[in-house]
């Protein structure tokens, strides 16, 4: 996905699925951290500050919503994708309010979860580029306007592909 040093924290209480996800993303991330519940994930997060988080919603001890709340409460804007077999709208609404970028429903195909993670990473990278361009050239520059259009296009493609 990206050539630079990147790390992912995968949080999933189903150990078999955790291994599968680790294998899928070992090709895309330099470092993979894993946790089988939100409590362990919090400890890892505080220690290593990963570049990306992929987390289940329903887990023992500390669920995905509680974990994401902790991440956001310390001011981190780490891109997060949630995995869930639950159709619980309340969880989904809470997650959106916490700034979770996307969701993947279980069961999922390898290509689908890779695509969602790639798209979220791409939008995050473009947004970071936009911030840098605003700093360098100012809000009304041609470069900033082009980057905003590109981000809008990426977001429109992401929304369209969810239908």
Question: Does the pLDDT value for residue 35 go beyond 60?
Answer: yes
- Res 163: pLDDT: 53
Question: Does the pLDDT value for residue 56 go beyond 80?
Answer: yes
Residue ranges of the domains in the chain? 7-161
Q: Which residues contact 124 (CB under 8 A, 6 or more apart)?
A: 79, 101
From the CB of residue 101, how many other CB atoms can be counted at a distance below 10 Å? 21
Q: What is the mean pLDDT of residues 13-21?
A: 96
Q: How far from chain centre, in Å, is Cα 106?
A: 16
Q: How far from chain centre, in Å, is Cα 71?
A: 12
Please, how many CA atoms are within 13 Å of residue 58, restricted to the half-sphere of its CB? 11
pLDDT higher at 102 or 149: 102
- DSSP β-bridge partners for residue 105: 84
- 78-123 pLDDT tens trace: 999 999 876 677 878 888 888 898 989 888 999 999 999 988 888 8
Residue 1: pLDDT band (50, 70, 90) is very low
Burial of 62-78, coded b for 16+ CB within 10 Å and e otherwise, reads bbbbebbbbbbeeeeeb
Q: Which fold is adopted by the domain 7-161?
A: Rossmann fold (3.40.50)
pTM: 0.79
């Amino acid at each position: 996905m990206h050539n630079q040093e990147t790390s992912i924290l995968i949080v999933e209480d189903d150990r078999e699925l955790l291994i599968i996800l680790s294998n899928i993303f070992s090709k895309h991330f330099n470092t993979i951290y894993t946790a089988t519940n939100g409590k362990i994930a919090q400890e890892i997060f505080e220690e290593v500050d990963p570049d990306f988080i992929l987390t289940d919603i329903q887990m023992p001890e500390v669920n995905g919503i509680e974990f994401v709340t902790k991440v956001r409460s310390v001011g981190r804007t780490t891109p997060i994708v949630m995995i869930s077999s639950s159709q619980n709208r309340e969880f989904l609404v809470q997650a959106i309010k916490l700034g979770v970028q996307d969701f993947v429903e279980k069961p999922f195909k390898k290509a689908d979860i890779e695509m969602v993670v790639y798209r979220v990473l791409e939008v995050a990278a473009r947004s970071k580029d936009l911030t840098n361009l605003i700093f360098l050239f100012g809000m009304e520059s041609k470069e900033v306007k082009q980057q905003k259009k590109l981000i809008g296009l990426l977001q429109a493609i992401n929304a369209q592909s969810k239908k």
